[in-house]
Structure 1
Amino acid sequence: MSFTKAVVYPGNPATERGMSTKLSASKEKIVYTNGKAVFIRDINDPALGVVYTGHVQNTTVARVSPTGYYCASADAAGNVRVWDTVGEDQALKGEYKVISGRVNDLEWDGESKRIIAVGDGREKFGHAFMFDTGTSTGEIGGHSKAINAVSIRHQRPFRAATAADDNTIVFHQGVPFKYDKTIKTHTKFVQDLRYALSGDHFASVGSDGKIFLYDGKTGDTLGEFEEGHKGTIYGVSWSPDSRAIVTASADTTVKLWDVETRKATSVYSIGSGVDNHQVGTVWSAPDTIVSLSMSGALNVFDKRSGDKPVKVLHGPQRGITSATAASSETFVVGTADGRVLSYDAAGVASVVGGEGHSTFVSSIAAGADGKLFSSGFDDRVREVDGHAFTPASFSTDSQPKAVAVAGDGTVFVAESKVVEAVRSNQKVAELKVSATPSAVAANGSQVAVGSEDQKVRLYNWDGKALSEVAVLEGNKGVVSALAFSPDGSKLASGDSSGKIVLFDAKERKAITSRWSFHSARVNSLAWTADSQHCASGSLDTHIYVWSVQKPLKNIGIKNAVAGGVNTVLWKQSGDKKAVLVGAGADTAIRVWEITFHA
């Protein structure tokens, strides 16, 4: 057996209410952060995504150098990492501790040699340095509160401008960078500022809803744009020809402005409510503009057509907690913030509509009729029909840990005290287990319940009640994942110690207990369609593919998902090749092609 890495489907940017989220662009790709990951996402093809997971703290901002060869990314602890975007190994060029707190923004100079990083430090709020050596290239000063944004003029003589929570902009001469003057145009927090590519001007936006234009060489204020926004403006970006800017605001609009007249030429209204607050924007191509909603949705506009987005890019905004295959080509995932997303064959994500979960999705299972069932920590089991939740839902007695669907469509819910059997959103049976249930699986009339006493109990379901037929032992920890093979002949049981025991479900005995390569809790198990191979994902970040015919043979995909693998599934599977999907804490969905050798 062997594997090759196929594609990565990216998560969406993390957002925080009341804060600007910095987006940047490199050709047809946009760059942003989420959790400890950095994403470089192609606007047109989700399969061309790149994810970097080298940070140990939550990332805050990332920007690709003008040459396109390197990316600089920063985190909440004040670290900046510069890494290679060209090679697959994403080699680290340098890591620097620039300030003692969160980095809010950073910028490359036009020669791709110098970086200025700014944020909320204790001794200083910004630092200018060479990207390859870390050598200081001046001082960033003049502010009394955290700096929110920085921009550098790309032409010589270099200039830099910084915007902060002290309602001021500081203009710096360079290089080396040094304080030149303070600009007091805004009356509230200055959220963002950007230099035009031509270097002739820069623009600033703030919580006062105003937009100002400045001379790029001298820093002199040239004027205010007419009738800005009705709410805080969180982002500003320049067109490639430096003749227009785009602004994104909490009033849920995105506006295009002509720099010469300082008047709005187009207004895009996204919707209403907090989820549609626009908290960031970037002009990624001559006619393509991207704005970020508070909900994490990336709105793509074509300035030549209409007043609505031409498309909306969706993806997980919090860690992926569960998933299941909806067909041989499509699958759905649940996330830590309660959302369920559906992925089509091309990897394009859409949010499952309707009234969903309000918090952590603990499990998703598919029935034989194509319906999906999800459980959440809001103590609800919900049904997904197509791309929407159905109105009906079932309220559980206690917090649901896992769900499984039997052959007749009955949904079994493992809870902290009991296992409930649900059909048509009504409880039809209840099973009290001597030990606390921790996992559940079903196939046809067979139901397996794993528990915290390290045992798996097999039951037969007759449509009315569960009758115990066997108790399977061999696990060395709390049973954390169960999966029947599609033909119902085998049962894999993973536990909190990292051990997996393969049972014969018909003979009710262990086939092998040698699947013990994981070093932490097994979170997910998935079988190929031919019932010959089982994949396991673990908190130890690794994925293994096991063979029934050759139990001692396996494929180890090491460090598959940063932060831990929460779910694995087979997107396609055949006799010789299969497509494996893995996801977890970093919001990215990774796909591998697995080859089974004779």
Structure 2
Amino acid sequence: MAQLAETYACVPSTERGRGILISGDSKSNSILYCNGRSVIIRYLDRPLQVKVYGEHAYQATVARHSPNGEWIASADVSGIVRIWGTHNDFVLKNEFKVLSGRIDDLQWSPDGQRIVASGEGKGKSLLRAFMWDSGTNVGEFDGHSRRVLSCAFKPTRPFRIVSCGEDFLVNFYEGPPFKFKLSHRDHTNFVNCVRFSPDGSKFITVSSDKRGILYDAKTGDKIGELSSEDGHTGSIYAVSWSPDGKQQIVTVSADKTAKIWEITDDGNGKVIKTITSPGSGGIDDMLVGCLWQDDNLITVSLGGTISLFSASNLDKEPLLLSGHMKNICALAVLGSSPRIMLSSSYEGLIVKWIQGVGYSGKLDRKVNGQIKCFIAVEEEIVSSGFDNKIWRNSLLGDQLGDAECIDVGNQPKDLCLSLNSPELALVCTDTGVTLLRGTKIASTMDLGFTASACAITPDGSEAIVGAQDGKLHLYTIDGDLLKEETVLEKHRGTITVIHYSPDVSMFASGDSNREAIVWDRVSHEVKLKNMLFHTARINCLSWSPNNRMVATGSLDTCVIVYDIEKPASNRITIKGAHLGGVYGLAFIDEHNVVSSGEDASIRVWRLNPE
């Protein structure tokens, strides 16, 4: 069996020009955010322990703990709200179709009996409040004509609901049952977030017009405004109150700063501290989300980086939690102690991780572009995208050297390196293969079939090319030419991956028809039969350093580990390793395997063979 040892979590999904509304639970010292169809529960004192809820059928948008911390309500782009337990395997309590479109915000009532949700819909159905156990409506919500970006429940009696959105309006409702009371049009642009103070005395709205306005929570009347002196110079996307009743707030903005404000007795606000976003100052450093929880002051950047500041010591360097936002397509393990892992994702981001520590930084490729194929050796990274080019970057600690590129004339399907002399690379394309020596094309060969995967021995003397028709073509490399030796026919689907064992005595291949095969390199006999336990295409494959185990990762979300010396039926299956499919796989050592997938997360599994 296998045990989950560490999770290097994905970052929140963000969108240019929009804020994100993260939340948390002080009892468990955790925060909640969404990425794809996943809701992530991240423990601030245990960053490598992460829980993931993946039961939404559509992209999740927002999630909140109930006041007692026992339940979580999460919403998605289809207008569904799911209510599930924080313990006991996330047991589902209820599911309700709340709006006809995307839900942008939801809040629990302080007694945990009602939920209000806002977002997109048809006609008047842009805001709705309902009973958490039955879904029964608890009011009529008129007054908005466009998407409602945020809503809030007054935390004390008498209950009130306030909402704001793209129609520049702030609407105030009394109840329950809730009825429209009044509306304000004090803002001149989208109103992105509204939040009540913990004592229930006032609420604040922040807007893309760079202003924050304060209102009386009981009457809904305007009482003050955040000072423009030292104020934000960009859209304000989110706001959060200090939980200790000190009448302080934090705001975050497109101007790449977070500001701490003191709310004075007259209801106005003045800046007492400005925090600049950690980073290089690029677009990705715009701040789009924030949360003030206990002593943690949390900001989220457009690039997804979560910064944890100490509210009691704001001059202290923040703890940075970051990672991928999109599908992680490849993994590499480097070094011995500590183990270094590099991961590349679809949008072209390369992240460095340290086993036992987690996030260690992003590597700047100095070129923009997506990554399809990715290989890392001790001092070099070789990658390809969708532009017919192979990129080579020298790897110097935490820095990448200048990129050199080679145009191979066709879309690379796969690439592999000769490990003993990494300047020798083999690239397969639709029309054949290209042999590279450094940044020069040594030869290009039309093999007469559509190539789909390739592998090369560490000494560069032999290569295998997998075909779209399921055949494996074995070649000797003579100078800069490939000389075909034999063709192996066993697969019944397109070859998707090929790897030699570390001692080069065997090789393993996987196909789109869910089968993996281990071959003896010399005799070309099948070494391990009946490796047919996936239910979908095999995407990735890895050998253990001792040549004894092969792990496969599939579109079916599972990782399967086979022992070469035992029957294929005696295997370790990791079910649901990654929501959406497994795309990267590597052995750290004989006892640990690391995987990555479409859920943009990386997981380390400790193997305990039975």
Tell me, yes or no, if structure 1 residue 556 matches structure 2 residue 557: no
2:285 equivalent in structure 1? 276
Alignment: residue pair count: 589
The answer to whether the Cα contact below 8 Å between 1:359 and 1:376 also exists between their aligned partners in 2 is: yes
1:295 to 295, 303, 307: 303
1:363 to 373, 388, 396: 373
Tell me, yes or no, if structure 1 residue 591 matches structure 2 residue 604: yes
Question: 1:463 Cα shift?
Answer: 6.0
CA distance in 1, matches of 2:316, 2:274: 9
The answer to whether the Cα contact below 8 Å between 1:461 and 1:467 also exists between their aligned partners in 2 is: yes
Question: 1:113 Cα shift?
Answer: 2.2
1:138 equivalent in structure 2? 139
Tell me, yes or no, if structure 1 residue 316 matches structure 2 residue 328: no
1:579 equivalent in structure 2? 592
2:55 equivalent in structure 1? 54
Deviations 1:141-167 (A, max 9, x none): 321111000111122221111011111
The answer to whether the Cα contact below 8 Å between 1:266 and 1:307 also exists between their aligned partners in 2 is: no
Aligned residue for 2:90, secondary structure, equals: coil
Tell me, yes or no, if structure 1 residue 436 matches structure 2 residue 460: no
Residue type of the alignment partner of 1:258? E
Structure 1 residues 327 and 139, CA gap change in structure 2 (3 angstroms): farther
Tell me, yes or no, if structure 1 residue 373 matches structure 2 residue 382: yes
1:157 equivalent in structure 2? 158
* Structure 1 unpaired stretches of 5+: none
The answer to whether the Cα contact below 8 Å between 1:541 and 1:563 also exists between their aligned partners in 2 is: yes
2:403 to 385, 392, 406: 392
1:120-519 mapped onto 2 (5 Å cutoff): 120-123=120-123, 124-227=125-228, 228-242=231-245, 243-260=247-264, 262-270=269-277, 272-286=281-295, 288-305=296-313, 310-328=318-336, 329-356=339-366, 358-367=368-377, 369-378=378-387, 379-385=389-395, 386-397=397-408, 398-406=410-418, 407-409=420-422, 410-445=424-459, 446-461=462-477, 464-519=480-535
Tell me, yes or no, if structure 1 residue 567 matches structure 2 residue 581: no
CA distance in 1, matches of 2:65, 2:432: 52
CA distance in 2, matches of 1:114, 1:370: 57
Using structure 2 for the length normalisation, give the TM-score.
0.92
CA distance in 1, matches of 2:15, 2:597: 21
Question: 1:419 Cα shift?
Answer: 2.4
Question: 1:246 Cα shift?
Answer: 0.6
Question: 1:478 Cα shift?
Answer: 0.7
Question: 1:295 Cα shift?
Answer: 1.4
Deviations 1:250-299 (A, max 9, x none): 1111111001161000111225342222111111222x211111111122
CA distance in 2, matches of 1:330, 1:263: 45
CA RMSD of aligned residues (A): 1.9
Question: 1:519 Cα shift?
Answer: 2.1
Greater displacement, 17-26 / 431-440: 431-440
Deviations 1:67-104 (A, max 9, x none): 111111111000011111123x2111111100000001
The answer to whether the Cα contact below 8 Å between 2:379 and 2:394 also exists between their aligned partners in 1 is: no
Residue type of the alignment partner of 2:276? S
Residue type of the alignment partner of 2:356? A
Structure 1 residues 43 and 401, CA gap change in structure 2 (3 angstroms): farther
The answer to whether the Cα contact below 8 Å between 1:173 and 1:180 also exists between their aligned partners in 2 is: yes
The answer to whether the Cα contact below 8 Å between 1:269 and 1:308 also exists between their aligned partners in 2 is: no
Question: 1:304 Cα shift?
Answer: 4.0
Residue type of the alignment partner of 2:609? F
Structure 1 residues 300 and 509, CA gap change in structure 2 (3 angstroms): same
CA distance in 2, matches of 1:425, 1:352: 25
Greater displacement, 41-50 / 17-26: 41-50
The answer to whether the Cα contact below 8 Å between 2:287 and 2:299 also exists between their aligned partners in 1 is: yes
The answer to whether the Cα contact below 8 Å between 1:290 and 1:299 also exists between their aligned partners in 2 is: yes
Structure 1 residues 434 and 512, CA gap change in structure 2 (3 angstroms): farther
Using structure 1 for the length normalisation, give the TM-score.
0.94
CA distance in 2, matches of 1:383, 1:403: 15
The answer to whether the Cα contact below 8 Å between 2:572 and 2:609 also exists between their aligned partners in 1 is: no
The answer to whether the Cα contact below 8 Å between 1:258 and 1:264 also exists between their aligned partners in 2 is: yes
The answer to whether the Cα contact below 8 Å between 1:25 and 1:63 also exists between their aligned partners in 2 is: yes
Instruction: Using the aligned pairs only, state the percent identity.
Output: 34
Question: 1:120 Cα shift?
Answer: 0.4
The answer to whether the Cα contact below 8 Å between 1:268 and 1:307 also exists between their aligned partners in 2 is: no
Aligned residue for 1:400, secondary structure, equals: coil
The answer to whether the Cα contact below 8 Å between 1:254 and 1:268 also exists between their aligned partners in 2 is: yes
CA distance in 2, matches of 1:384, 1:595: 37
Structure 1 residues 384 and 199, CA gap change in structure 2 (3 angstroms): farther
CA distance in 1, matches of 2:46, 2:366: 28
